[in-house]
Amino acid sequence: MGGIVRADHLAIAQEFSAAASAWPVPPRFDPVERWYHRLTLTDDYEVWLLTWLPGQGTEIHDHGGSAGAFYLHSGTLVEDTVSVRDRTPRVASRELGEGAGRRFGSHHIHRIENRSSRPAISVHVYGPALTSMTKYRLSPAGLEVLTVERAGAQW
């Protein structure tokens, strides 16, 4: 099938990370609320810059059907990927250091956290742009929906 070019979200994230001098704002760190800034929005994807102080992280969430990727501009983050098999949630953790990144599919559920002692900066790509996302929590009953949110806050 010719003519269809799928964007490589990880390559886009990497490109934006490498172009830090062109970011419209310098990254800031906010101890009260994680700082984020949208770098670009196209018909096919959006790119966000996020900062993480030690201890800051997301809740467990999906991306409302968007796929994407994230890339570590600096620092180290841990991603906990949650998968459910036979109603039993499993959590797989991986650490991503500076220059590491990964793509995720449209059904990916994860949480990201800075469990290191240094601040981290990451670039996140979502395609298509986020419209909604669901937050979850792990409970004895499995993966429980907490809230469904319109896009706005970034993950």
Question: What is the b/e burial string over 80-93, where b = at least 16 CB atoms within 10 angstroms of the residue's CB?
Answer: bbbeeeeeebeeee
| 110 labelled ligand-binding | yes
Token pair for residue 113? 């956290």
When CB distances to Fe ion are compared, the closest residue is 155
* Binding track, positions 126-155, relative to Fe ion; x by CB under 5 A: -----------------------------x
| 108 labelled ligand-binding | no
**Residue closer to Fe ion (CB basis): 22 or 148:** 148
**Residue closer to Fe ion (CB basis): 71 or 155:** 155
Smallest distance, Fe ion to C-beta of residue 97, A: 18
Asked if 76 and 116 touch (Cβ cutoff 8 Å), the reply is yes
DSSP letter string over 22-66? G-SS-----SSS--EEEEEE-SS-EEEEEEE-TT-B--EE--TT-
Smallest distance, Fe ion to C-beta of residue 26, A: 23
* Closest to 7 in 3D by CA, of 50, 40, 51: 40
**Residue closer to Fe ion (CB basis): 14 or 108:** 108
Smallest distance, Fe ion to C-beta of residue 131, A: 14
**Residue closer to Fe ion (CB basis): 136 or 155:** 155
| 63 labelled ligand-binding | yes
Q: Which amino acid is at 13?
A: A
* Closest to 143 in 3D by CA, of 112, 108, 92, 109: 109
Token pair for residue 4? 């269809």
Smallest distance, Fe ion to C-beta of residue 116, A: 18
Contact residues toward Fe ion (CB under 5 A) are 155
- Which residues are part of a known binding site for Fe cation? 61, 63, 110
